[in-house]
């Protein structure tokens, strides 16, 4: 069960059985997903699940790419370049997998409660990171060819 | 006039997505096993092979279940398990890469 911070002025007496003391911030247990709202349209639920799976496949692709860079490419012009690129890809993959579940749950909760879907900065983060890693890889390749 | 909702096609697409994910597990994480076999002569590859097998089974279960009912069950635990397993595979890949004998050449 996940814990979310709640401002003190939003904690009602009815929440006492769910509340966990955590000074200086109070924390509240989130109710299970199936206790929230009503069942949404099955198509939306499944689309959300497919998005979750797509993020996990992206994560697996990043992991495989990282391993390929580390162990299949010849060394670059300066020591550790392969490892730096590989580690960045692998960390990005692991973070993608880790964050895919909270993103799915937030969207599912919003669907069940009839709220607008929460915005996510994660696609921008992944796109920016992959772009930066690509630039570093291009620079390392140029250095290798120049040397 | 009410719109008739047919979850058949979305359910089928979702089952196919689970199949693709299982295949990605086998291909992507299979690379980790291959690397571990090469670098560590199979010592640590056994644990990774077990993890990959378990992850593939997790991905195969939803691909086999028919979910065309009016309210397809949500399985947060299964999704959590899948995401955590992928993350653990990432951690294993990270450690294997960092501690590879030629990591800083």
Query: What pLDDT is recorded for position A13?
Result: 42
> What tokens appear for A91 in the block?
């960390």
CA–CA separation, A130 and B102 (whole Å): 24
3-state secondary structure of B36: helix
The CA distance from A13 to the nearest CA of chain B, in Å, is 29
B1 pLDDT higher than 80: no
Count CB neighbours of A97 within 10 A.
Answer: 27
B66 pLDDT higher than 60: yes
Least confident of A69-73, A98-102, B42-46, B97-101: B42-46
Chain B residue with the nearest C-alpha to that of A106: B76
The CA distance from A20 to the nearest CA of chain B, in Å, is 23
A53 pLDDT higher than 90: yes
Split at pLDDT 50, 70, 90, the class of A100 is: very high
Whether residues B91 and A94 touch (CB distance < 8 A) is answered with yes
Count CB neighbours of A124 within 10 A.
Answer: 9
Please tell me which of the candidates A52, A75, A90 has its beta carbon nearest to residue B97. Answer: A90
The CA distance from A9 to the nearest CA of chain B, in Å, is 30
Please tell me which of the candidates A71, A90, A101 has its beta carbon nearest to residue B80. Answer: A101
CA–CA separation, A13 and A16 (whole Å): 6
Max mean pLDDT range (A2-6, A78-82, B32-36): A78-82
CA–CA separation, B91 and B47 (whole Å): 13
CA of residue A120 relative to chain centroid, distance: 10
Are A98 and B80 contacting, i.e. CB atoms less than 8 angstroms apart?
no
Query: What pLDDT is recorded for position A7?
Result: 52
Query: In this predicted model, which residue has the larger pLDDT, B5 or A62?
Result: A62
Q: What H or E segment, with its residue span, contains residue A107?
A: helix A81-113
CA–CA separation, A5 and B24 (whole Å): 36
CA–CA separation, B52 and B74 (whole Å): 24
> What tokens appear for A102 in the block?
């909270």
Q: A-B interface: how many C-beta pairs under 8 angstroms?
A: 134
The model's pLDDT over B20-51, given as tens digits with 9 standing for 90+, comes to 888 887 776 676 666 666 666 556 666 666 66
Count CB neighbours of A68 within 10 A.
Answer: 14
3-state secondary structure of B4: coil
Whether residues A59 and B21 touch (CB distance < 8 A) is answered with no
Query: What pLDDT is recorded for position A15?
Result: 44
CA–CA separation, A46 and B5 (whole Å): 13
The model's pLDDT over B71-105, given as tens digits with 9 standing for 90+, comes to 555 578 888 888 888 888 888 888 878 887 777 77
Farthest-apart Cα atoms in chain B, separation: 69
CA–CA separation, A144 and A146 (whole Å): 5
> What tokens appear for B36 in the block?
């571990």
Query: What pLDDT is recorded for position A28?
Result: 63
Whether residues B28 and A53 touch (CB distance < 8 A) is answered with no
The pTM assigned to this predicted structure is 0.77
Query: What pLDDT is recorded for position A19?
Result: 41
Please tell me which of the candidates B7, B28, B80 has its beta carbon nearest to residue A61. Answer: B28
- Substitution target in B5, B19, B22, B87 with the highest count of A β-carbons within 10 Å is B87
DSSP state of A77: S
């Amino acid at each position: 069960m996940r814990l979310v911070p709640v401002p003190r002025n939003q904690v009602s007496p009815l929440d006492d059985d769910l509340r966990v003391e955590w000074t200086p911030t109070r924390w509240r247990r989130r109710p299970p997903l199936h206790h929230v709202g009503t069942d949404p349209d099955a198509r939306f639920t499944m689309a959300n699940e497919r998005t979750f799976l797509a993020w996990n496949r992206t994560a697996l692709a990043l992991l495989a790419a990282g391993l390929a860079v580390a162990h299949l490419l010849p060394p670059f012009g300066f020591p550790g370049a392969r490892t730096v690129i590989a580690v960045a890809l692998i960390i990005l993959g692991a973070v993608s997998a880790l964050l895919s579940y909270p993103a799915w749950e937030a969207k599912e909760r919003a669907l069940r409660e009839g709220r607008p879907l929460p915005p996510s900065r994660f696609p921008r983060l992944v796109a920016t990171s992959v772009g930066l890693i690509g630039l570093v890889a291009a620079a390392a390749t140029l250095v290798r060819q120049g040397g | 006039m009410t719109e008739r909702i047919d979850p058949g096609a979305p359910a089928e697409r979702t089952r196919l997505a689970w199949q693709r994910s299982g295949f990605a597990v086998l291909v992507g994480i299979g690379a980790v096993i291959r690397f571990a076999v090469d670098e560590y002569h199979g010592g640590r590859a056994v644990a990774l092979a077990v993890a990959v097998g378990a992850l593939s089974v997790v991905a195969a279960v939803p691909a086999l279940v028919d979910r065309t009912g009016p309210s397809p069950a949500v399985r947060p635990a299964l999704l959590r398990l899948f995401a955590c397993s992928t993350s653990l595979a990432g951690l294993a890949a990270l450690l294997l890469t960092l501690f590879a004998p030629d990591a800083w050449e």
